[in-house]
Structure 1
Amino acid sequence: MIFKYLRAFCAGVVLCLILNPVWAQPHRTLTVNDFLGAPRPNGRGVIAYTNCTIDFKYQATRNDGYYQLRFNVRMFMNNYKSWIDRSRITSADQLAEILKHEQGHYTIAYLEQQEVLRAVERTRFTANYNAEAMGIFNRIDAKYKQLNQDYDEDTQHMVNRQQQHSWDIYFAKRLQFMPQENASL
């Protein structure tokens, strides 16, 4: 009897995974506890570093002359590669500014993940799906790598407070008007 319920439960879980092929974690606010890595010596004046990875996987099935791809696109903050040089922090206000700047880098990675999810969900793939999927990912990844560079250059790694404020507003607007997570497109 228990085996029968367990099998029904497992079938339900598998069905949910099939019907919901992509997953996105919610955007969150970083804390000092997210930075567990060792600071880099002689980091060219950089007091903190945020390292995120976009994990991009898919499975393909043929369907009426085209290929349906089920994606799993996840974004991770690599806590042990991300660091804050706490020895150079002199006040709680300075720490808050540093965390706000690093939040921007995390938000850029999150926005990239969300754009990849939206792009692949609305794409119809051919037999060349490997190249097509990687092309989408590489195009979007290059866009967000440039955005990360622009962010650090414009804010001078948070030193330019006026530019930092402009970027903070930009991120807030992008997050506010982002399509709902896991929404079908």
Structure 2
Amino acid sequence: MKNLLVVILLSIYPIIAPLKQDSDQPEQLDWNIHFKGKPDNNSPFYALTAMTWKYSYASTVYRNRVEIKLQNEISIDKTRSWVKLDKVKTEESRQNLLHHEQGHVDIQYILYLEADRVLKNRTYSVKNYKAQISDLANQISAYFDTMQKNYDEETEHGSNHRMQERWDKIISDKMEESRAAGNSK
């Protein structure tokens, strides 16, 4: 069986705009809905899922304390996400590829949960809270960017089924942990 190769393109832009995530579950991928972009014929990969993370906040200072009201959103960029279904010959291979891509979306959802928890539950300095929030957001972004890259490398872009199963468990455990941590606050 040919090795299936996929890659994730992460676009993580902190943008100041009122945005929020409405779902308590990660969005479930569908080839016909989420992959509207033109495939890159020069790419060795069979699919690309483009996603964004955006956050904004309103701040108030009261009695020398900063409180923030965070708005946080993740989304799938359907016009930049693509798949080469003509290269994936069997239905089982298509499902395996979609499953791998779903792992990227699930990791992005964990980023959403963690960003929400971490950014909301900090004590910020009145003097430099904007820089502190920006630094934390950049750290969160870098952590999950590394996680996405490790996911692709270790699963060999979904073609190493043993490692894919291992990562499925890692992602599931991390999502459960993030939900529990968010609910305890």
For structure 2, which runs of at least 5 residues remain unmatched after alignment?
Answer: 1-18
Deviation of the 1:175 alpha carbon: 2.5
Decide which structure has greater strand share.
Answer: 2
Show CA shifts across 1:87-129 (max 9, x none).
Answer: 2121111110010000111111111111110001111122211
8 Å Cα contact 2:113/2:182 also seen in 1: no
RCO higher in structure (CA 8 A, sep ≥6)? 2
Aligned to 1:175: 175
Are the structure 2 counterparts of residues 156 and 23 from structure 1 closer, same or farther at C-alpha, using a change threshold of 3 Å?
closer
RMSD: 2.0
Aligned to 2:59: 60
Q: TM-score scaled by structure 2?
A: 0.82
For structure 1, which runs of at least 5 residues remain unmatched after alignment?
Answer: 1-20
SS in 2 for 1:56: strand
Show CA shifts across 1:1-20 (max 9, x none).
Answer: xxxxxxxxxxxxxxxxxxxx
The equivalences for 1:16-27 within 5 A come to 23-26=21-24, 27=26
Aligned to 1:134: 134
Decide which structure has greater helix share.
Answer: 1
Task: Point out the structure with max Rg over C-alpha.
Answer: 1
8 Å Cα contact 2:56/2:72 also seen in 1: yes
Q: TM-score scaled by structure 1?
A: 0.82
Show CA shifts across 1:58-107 (max 9, x none).
Answer: 11111110111111010011111111111212111111001000011111
- 2:173 and 2:180 map into 1 onto residues whose CA distance is 14
SS in 1 for 2:179: coil
8 Å Cα contact 1:69/1:125 also seen in 2: no
Q: Which moved more, 1:73-82 or 1:121-130?
A: 121-130
Aligned to 1:144: 144
8 Å Cα contact 2:34/2:81 also seen in 1: yes
Are the structure 2 counterparts of residues 117 and 35 from structure 1 closer, same or farther at C-alpha, using a change threshold of 3 Å?
same
Aligned to 2:35: 35
The amino acid that maps onto 1:28 is: E
8 Å Cα contact 1:24/1:182 also seen in 2: no
Aligned to 2:155: 155
8 Å Cα contact 2:46/2:83 also seen in 1: yes
The amino acid that maps onto 2:147 is: L
- Identity of matched residues, %: 23
- 2:42 and 2:176 map into 1 onto residues whose CA distance is 37
